[in-house]
Structure 1
């Protein structure tokens, strides 16, 4: 049964992540106002699609590979005799079937073509709400799953609100766990119930009990949008301060009260070492400097054959000492390592090594400076004090002046050999580049030469001329690998292929600017198309994992940087329907 509950939790978490990933402040709609008025301002976690999201077009834009489940996905559920497992199996299959088209998806779940959705917690209690146009479709879907599984629900009423209850825990278990589903005023609500969730909390979850201090009145969402420049389509956040309050107090907020109630059931205070006056004061001071993790949409574009999302997650910080230290570590990432679609794969690490040790030392000093009285924090400082970043100086001294390292696989291609070579496939061409950006790349190369004898006789021209390194990698010419090296401006480049050489020439004009910490980009179509071609040449079947991904036409990018508001994690996803699927 535990595995079934874990599977259910994964599905729920995936649904929450899905609604979050779908997507200024002006104003929110009346529907959003209604929902936000039922969310307490002290909620630890909130994610809201505040403007209608084109769910029909989004499903249509997905590759067929997303819409096909691997055989083993439902294997364990299929083998189970538990009615709850069969119920989940039926719902999962209905979900996968509905993904065949946007029209089928919205018909299956009774949705309109554009919807709003919300995920938040009342303390620890998760609540999902989303708009439905045809409520009967949900009940029909659940009734079918009950018929397929033999699993059944009971109907309860709370303050006039009728809702379905599905028991998730085993019969006779003292710790009950129930799934609750209700519909009211065009909103579907999905939540849970357990022994330590009180009735007023359930009333709030079901929308029949108002909250004294709501998210709608708090100004939190508007403030997040204004501070970080997000679009007002979708916003979410994790409130560190409320979580710390729940951990370090017994009654400080709703989550604290629930943890206290759960501890009473267990017969011990599970957080006793944190719930001291000293820990509450000192952890609260820390989270005052690191109040929230916020996430929002910078841009979104969705049509039937393509969808793209540009999303940022920011760990907010008011600790300027740490932020300044992190900023000083930022280095250079070239253009070729930033843009998805330009290469099969690219990665860039921007790091100013001259500042690495001083910056990390400043971070360490800042963390060790407070004289904590909380035992948990004292133990943390004791462990930290035994690890000094100064030791890194021994390894970074020889790389003085380095500002970043980047690489990209730009293109590659397989072909069949001639008949005399038995028609075996081979690598026809490869375009790839690795670059080291530094204040003086030639000096760094000369410092490395004594440790690599094969480089001893190589003299790098300062005028940007290219050196052929084929003699260091004696491969047959038919492989198309002829590595070359050159100094292009402030960049030492090692490359192969004409496309890579063109990028190397462009690098010469790129000045060293501190523009980031880390970036990675991947084009799935460019990655898998040659692999599929290779499999066709050899006659070998593709593994199922690769076969599912061969039709992906998706580009992704992720990056890490520092700005005035905190630590920034950027992500970009672009998905297209392949011509064969149109």
Structure 2
């Protein structure tokens, strides 16, 4: 069943994905029928508010990303479960449609550019997206029914007809239905259960608008303005509404639905949280951490290439907490933070002098309130038995450190010379590791007593490298010749000419506090030498690995702190294989 769920999730993401996108205040404020049906206090929302070029996006994906192992659905296809076969049919149709952007939009009856929305009405998930040819959706579902023997019922609610698929087994006390409706070019996919009020279903199907709605409020505009997101899409998780659901029985729609479920079960596992004290104190915490929001910083979609730069922010109004975390920010060098020229790079920026004081400030802030809620009291008791001050024992020797980073810049294999014996070998490696500190030479001298082989090494202060090959007696055919050097405020260990260029640039790079963490990976550069090696040896690669041959994708992720909260940055770039649509 896991594969079915994964495939169904892929369908949802593919149809409604790209909820990260740009958005101007003007674009958000335009009231439309979808936002008018979304309550302003919805716990979860993500919306594509300007048309997204789904056809071009599919074309820009590498063929490897669109391919799936033939045996992926084999086990489920042999199942006697009609529901499983139904979702297998839909999932295969989705995977097969990824061959090209045109096939994708034709299969699902979409326009080349679409809007999509996902949100919840309490527990009830709702997915909506633009459809240009409704008949394509019905044909797709009809085929899945024919393939599986799983059928629907036609139902009507206030004049709106929709398909209902019962997901639970016959005789289950609480049947759950999958609903599919189309109206005025808008496809709606949602669920229904007997515990849900009819007016909730009416809202989900777009029959009745709500007040106040997201169309009425300025929630989306405020998010975009506060975080500088661009003007096509935005999303959020509302922590304050989630807290109401956990700590009250009827504080919002989600709370009422959860209470109804517990009533049917005959037990309320949230009872100890649903006290006046817990409600008041958790509400105060949620006011300091109101939402997690996400949106695009930039986007570029063409048939042969797509790029997305988006951020997720855990918002915080607790300046004591934020200031403590910001004081920990360290240095991440340019070759990690902004480079697109490496196979893999990673940087950890930590101001070690501030690590213990910052964590202590956070600790004290969490222990300071005198909570009456038993759950929070127990949490504080566990925290009070520990202290981050103990970390000082381990960080004291590394005072002045601002960060450590590493990168694999390039690597390649070579065939043996004609007549030579043996297998292809590693021809060259370009890699670098750097430690950034106020005085890296002092740190190096402090390490010497723990590494006797370094005892006689004296680092030139002019940045000249020392060859460490004698300390690492690697075979010459590996192409690794490690060198150690001081480059300004950086202690650098590297091998290879390309790495030496990066190391030399570090000498002029100013050490400032610019982040906490960054990692970058170029899939094409990872796999290209491996496929080259396979060709040299003649060894066949597993099918799963061969599927990655034209996988041309670059990914970068980062973690930082700003005045708005904790920020997770992500960048993705896809390139279609040459000769694709």
Give distance in 2, aligned partners of 1:309 and 1:42.
28
After superposing the two structures, state which structure 1 stretch, 531-540 or 341-350, moved more: 531-540
Give distance in 2, aligned partners of 1:483 and 1:112.
55
Give distance in 1, aligned partners of 2:184 and 2:528.
48
Q: Does the CA-based 8 Å contact 1:5-1:168 persist in structure 2?
A: no
In the other structure, the counterpart of 1:190 is: 189
In the other structure, the counterpart of 2:24 is: 25
In the other structure, the counterpart of 2:329 is: 330
> Measured at CA, do residues 24 and 64 of structure 1 come closer, stay the same or move farther in structure 2, by a change above 3 Å?
closer
Q: Does the CA-based 8 Å contact 2:203-2:209 persist in structure 1?
A: yes
Q: TM-score, normalised by structure 2?
A: 0.97
Give distance in 2, aligned partners of 1:127 and 1:372.
37
Q: Are 1:58 and 2:57 matched, yes or no?
A: yes
CA displacement, residues 558-578 of structure 1 (integer Å, 9 cap, x when unaligned): 000000100000000000012
Q: CA deviation at 1:14?
A: 4.2
CA displacement, residues 171-206 of structure 1 (integer Å, 9 cap, x when unaligned): 111121110000111100000011221111000000
Give distance in 1, aligned partners of 2:115 and 2:579.
31
In the other structure, the counterpart of 2:303 is: 304
Give distance in 1, aligned partners of 2:506 and 2:108.
52
Q: Does the CA-based 8 Å contact 1:529-1:550 persist in structure 2?
A: yes
Q: Does the CA-based 8 Å contact 2:23-2:233 persist in structure 1?
A: no
In the other structure, the counterpart of 2:261 is: 262
Give distance in 2, aligned partners of 1:468 and 1:8.
52
In the other structure, the counterpart of 2:474 is: 475
Q: CA deviation at 1:215?
A: 0.9
> Measured at CA, do residues 488 and 406 of structure 1 come closer, stay the same or move farther in structure 2, by a change above 3 Å?
same
In the other structure, the counterpart of 1:159 is: 158
Q: Does the CA-based 8 Å contact 1:116-1:131 persist in structure 2?
A: yes
Q: CA deviation at 1:419?
A: 3.8
Q: CA deviation at 1:31?
A: 8.2
CA displacement, residues 337-379 of structure 1 (integer Å, 9 cap, x when unaligned): 1235310000000000000000000000000110111011111
> Measured at CA, do residues 312 and 17 of structure 1 come closer, stay the same or move farther in structure 2, by a change above 3 Å?
farther
Q: Does the CA-based 8 Å contact 1:295-1:313 persist in structure 2?
A: yes
Give distance in 2, aligned partners of 1:574 and 1:9.
24
Q: CA deviation at 1:24?
A: 4.7
In the other structure, the counterpart of 2:340 is: 341
Aligned pair count reads: 581
In the other structure, the counterpart of 1:135 is: 134
After superposing the two structures, state which structure 1 stretch, 144-153 or 302-311, moved more: 144-153
In the other structure, the counterpart of 2:544 is: 545
> Measured at CA, do residues 9 and 140 of structure 1 come closer, stay the same or move farther in structure 2, by a change above 3 Å?
closer
In the other structure, the counterpart of 2:226 is: 227
Q: CA deviation at 1:149?
A: 1.0
For the residue of structure 1 that corresponds to 2:85, the secondary structure is helix
CA displacement, residues 66-86 of structure 1 (integer Å, 9 cap, x when unaligned): 111123421331121111111
CA displacement, residues 379-433 of structure 1 (integer Å, 9 cap, x when unaligned): 1111111221011000000101000000000000001122443251100000000
Aligned pairs for 1:364-383 (under 5 A) are: 364-383=363-382
Q: Are 1:253 and 2:252 matched, yes or no?
A: yes
Give distance in 1, aligned partners of 2:139 and 2:206.
23
CA displacement, residues 52-102 of structure 1 (integer Å, 9 cap, x when unaligned): 000110011111011111234213311211111111111111111111111
Q: Does the CA-based 8 Å contact 1:289-1:317 persist in structure 2?
A: yes
Q: CA deviation at 1:7?
A: 5.0
Give distance in 2, aligned partners of 1:232 and 1:10.
26
Give distance in 1, aligned partners of 2:341 and 2:487.
20
Aligned pairs for 1:563-582 (under 5 A) are: 563-579=562-578, 581=580
Give distance in 2, aligned partners of 1:421 and 1:518.
45
Q: Does the CA-based 8 Å contact 1:307-1:576 persist in structure 2?
A: yes
Q: Does the CA-based 8 Å contact 1:179-1:193 persist in structure 2?
A: yes
Q: Are 1:505 and 2:500 matched, yes or no?
A: no
Give distance in 1, aligned partners of 2:7 and 2:193.
16
CA displacement, residues 296-333 of structure 1 (integer Å, 9 cap, x when unaligned): 00000000000000000000000000000000000000
After superposing the two structures, state which structure 1 stretch, 63-72 or 425-434, moved more: 63-72
Q: Does the CA-based 8 Å contact 1:520-1:557 persist in structure 2?
A: yes
Aligned pairs for 1:366-515 (under 5 A) are: 366-515=365-514
> Measured at CA, do residues 24 and 134 of structure 1 come closer, stay the same or move farther in structure 2, by a change above 3 Å?
closer
Q: CA deviation at 1:16?
A: 7.8
CA RMSD of aligned residues (A): 1.6
For the residue of structure 1 that corresponds to 2:570, the secondary structure is strand
For the residue of structure 1 that corresponds to 2:49, the secondary structure is strand
Give distance in 1, aligned partners of 2:123 and 2:76.
28
For the residue of structure 1 that corresponds to 2:236, the secondary structure is strand
After superposing the two structures, state which structure 1 stretch, 5-14 or 239-248, moved more: 5-14
Give distance in 2, aligned partners of 1:229 and 1:330.
21
Q: Does the CA-based 8 Å contact 2:28-2:220 persist in structure 1?
A: no
In the other structure, the counterpart of 2:122 is: 123
Q: Does the CA-based 8 Å contact 2:21-2:234 persist in structure 1?
A: no
Give distance in 1, aligned partners of 2:378 and 2:23.
44
CA displacement, residues 254-306 of structure 1 (integer Å, 9 cap, x when unaligned): 00000011011101122101100000000000010000000000000000000
Give distance in 2, aligned partners of 1:108 and 1:368.
56
Aligned pairs for 1:517-556 (under 5 A) are: 517-556=516-555
> Measured at CA, do residues 206 and 8 of structure 1 come closer, stay the same or move farther in structure 2, by a change above 3 Å?
farther
Q: Does the CA-based 8 Å contact 1:23-1:53 persist in structure 2?
A: no
> Measured at CA, do residues 5 and 98 of structure 1 come closer, stay the same or move farther in structure 2, by a change above 3 Å?
closer
Aligned pairs for 1:262-281 (under 5 A) are: 262-281=261-280
In the other structure, the counterpart of 1:295 is: 294
Give distance in 2, aligned partners of 1:183 and 1:17.
15
For the residue of structure 1 that corresponds to 2:526, the secondary structure is helix
CA displacement, residues 213-268 of structure 1 (integer Å, 9 cap, x when unaligned): 11111110000011111012010000000000010001100000000110111011
